[in-house]
Amino acid sequence: MKKIKDYFTQSSRRTSVGLGILKLVKAVLTFFILVVSAKYFGASSDRDTWIIAGSIITVTIQILFGPINETFITKYIHIREEISEKVVVESTNSLVSSIVILSISVSGLIFLFASPIADLFAPGLDHLEKSTLLAMIKILIPSLIILEVTAILSSILNAYKSFFIPDLFSFISLILNIVLIIFLSPAIGIYSLIVSSYLSSVLLLFILIRQLRVKFKINFGLVIPQYRLIKPFFLFALPIYINYLFSQTDVIIERNLTSSLGEGSVSILDYARKFSELPAGMLVSIATTVLTPLLSLYFVKHTKKELFEETQKYFRFLILLIIPISTMFFVAARDIVTITLVHGKFSDKLTDPTSTLLQWYGLGLFVNTIYIVYTQLIIAQKRIYFFSKIVIVTYIVKICFNLFFYKIIGLSTFPISSMLANLIMGAIMLSTALTGFTKKVLYQTLLMTSIFFTVAISSYFIHHILQEYLANVYVITALVLTWVLIVEAVLITLLKLEEASVILNFVKSIQNRANK
């Protein structure tokens, strides 16, 4: 175990690979939760209300604390390196206390005004569905505090380069989640999701608190918050509060519009989105836990050239990692939905609408990767105000697009608008991310885009040919995925990218084993 740990902590690249493997396993487990949910709940009104109730809690967390969560680790490192360890611990203690106090206050308001909040998010529900939603909202209110404190504690561990502990123990909580859903769903239905969510979240929170106390001797307790200690975190995050206000307004409008498109619409959109959210979540997690602190240090202690080179290494690594996933979602969407979701209460008639949405989310996933990487570079350079302006404009465009087209295009409106928003933000950020290196950044982006379209177009034709001769979706999907991986590997080698050495070493090792 120690040898494995030492291997993955020798360099930031290996740390990213290790995190990627761990997050991939977590993504598989999270995906299995999605499959189990499809089996037991399908695209029912009960699942619609569960998603909406969860959205209300998530939107509240994001509006109140999203900007602090996004910038916390960067500011934590700045204070620790520029002032002292003692000051950053005191500041964090005061911040956590403020979060708990504010969360309790807001929870009380949500409880009191649950009905108008439910109408805001889901005006399309009937009386019975609204009653279920109100019950879920009130039950989920305490999770607001648990989820936010867990996020901050995980960031603190990451700031001390303890990247694996939060993910390792959240992996355990996911397994518990799956077991509880399977055993409780037949008895208590949709409420099994609430029970499993609470138990796994509380378990993870206690584990993180224990790790901070035992490994880093950091003890947190409720204190009277001091503004001078909270101020650095708040001011650093302040510019992007407006961004989060617009982004969460977008979520509210989306839920509002989707609920009016008929029963099950919220669930269908959620199933399709979850496919892309899993890999996107992996990317964001790797970027925020490894890339952001690394680029922050490079910005403070290294040259622009070194900052550019390190960014490009991660950009290529993440793009090449996501190309096969994005391609499969676009090319073999129906096959993937058939294999994974069409079981139990998820009927075959839901396959086509879910597959169409998945294709759009597949394209958006590639675009989203560009946005994710260059967002971290902008934040690492403390260009928060610039970042804020871009996000506000793109969200205004996205919201207007959704309001105008949702009755014309239907559910596809939402993945299309999301892709367009990320495309606009990504294009602006990569072209302005690092002065003096714009042409090189654009070249790398165009190169990766060319690889993606070459892989995607060739895979589309291969998939079409295979469908004419084969009927088994498992075989077709496996063959298309094999084709995708081979074409990508060949292109990487022919273009002599840095990653080609990894592929060549892998091929040589296989040849050596075969010769033995």
Write b or e for each residue in 24-38: b if 16 or more Cβ atoms lie within 10 A of its Cβ, otherwise e. eebbebbebbbbbbb
Q: Nearest-5° angle of CA 223, CA 225, CA 229?
A: 120
CA 318/CA 370 separation, integer angstroms: 9
Residues 6+ apart with CB under 8 A from 503: 489, 492, 493
CA 466/CA 473 separation, integer angstroms: 10
**pLDDT value, residue 496:** 74
Q: What is the mean pLDDT of residues 363-383?
A: 81
Q: What is the pLDDT of residues 207-232, one digit of tens each?
A: 888 877 777 666 666 778 788 888 88
CA 361/CA 422 separation, integer angstroms: 12
pLDDT for 298 beyond 80: no
Q: What is the pLDDT of residues 144-187, one digit of tens each?
A: 888 888 888 877 777 766 656 666 777 777 888 888 888 888 88
pLDDT for 255 beyond 80: yes
Q: What percent of the chain has pLDDT over 70?
A: 84
**pLDDT value, residue 354:** 92
pLDDT for 514 beyond 80: no
**pLDDT value, residue 483:** 94
Residues for the chain: how many in total? Answer: 516
pLDDT band at 516 (very low <50, low <70, confident <90, very high): low
Residues 6+ apart with CB under 8 A from 25: 171
**pLDDT value, residue 189:** 84
Closest by CA to 361, choosing from 248, 269, 455, is 269
Chain centre to alpha carbon of residue 151: 13
pLDDT for 246 beyond 70: yes
**pLDDT value, residue 300:** 65
Which of 86 and 451 is assigned the larger pLDDT?
A: 451
Closest by CA to 140, choosing from 179, 111, 177, is 111
Residues 6+ apart with CB under 8 A from 113: none
CB atoms within 10 A of CB 129: 19
CA 40/CA 146 separation, integer angstroms: 27
Q: What is the pLDDT of residues 334-348, one digit of tens each?
A: 999 999 888 878 888
pLDDT for 376 beyond 70: yes
CB atoms within 10 A of CB 437: 18
Which of 106 and 75 is assigned the larger pLDDT?
A: 106
pLDDT for 8 beyond 50: no
**pLDDT value, residue 512:** 57
- Residue 126 in tokens: 């009937």
pLDDT for 250 beyond 70: yes
**pLDDT value, residue 253:** 92
**pLDDT value, residue 456:** 93
- Residue 405 in tokens: 């087209």
Q: What is the pLDDT of residues 308-333, one digit of tens each?
A: 777 777 788 888 888 999 999 999 99
CA 452/CA 461 separation, integer angstroms: 15
Which spans in 189-264 are helix H? 191-216, 227-237, 241-259
DSSP 140-187: HTTHHHHHHHHHHHHHHHHHTT--HHHHHHHHHHHHHHHHHHHHHHHH
Q: What is the mean pLDDT of residues 477-499?
A: 86
Which of 430 and 296 is assigned the larger pLDDT?
A: 430
Q: What is the residue whose two structure tokens read 């946005």?
A: 371
Query: Is residue 457 a contact partner of residue 403, using CB atoms and an 8 Å limit?
Result: no
Query: Is residue 55 a contact partner of residue 251, using CB atoms and an 8 Å limit?
Result: yes
**pLDDT value, residue 293:** 65
pLDDT for 33 beyond 70: yes
Q: What is the mean pLDDT of residues 358-371?
A: 89
What predicted TM-score, i.e. pTM, was given to this entire model?
0.78
Query: Is residue 90 a contact partner of residue 80, using CB atoms and an 8 Å limit?
Result: no
Per the prediction, the chain carries an average pLDDT of: 81
**pLDDT value, residue 161:** 65
CB atoms within 10 A of CB 314: 22
**pLDDT value, residue 128:** 87
Q: What is the residue whose two structure tokens read 């499993």?
A: 196
Q: What is the residue whose two structure tokens read 């909040």?
A: 117
Q: What is the mean pLDDT of residues 359-372?
A: 88
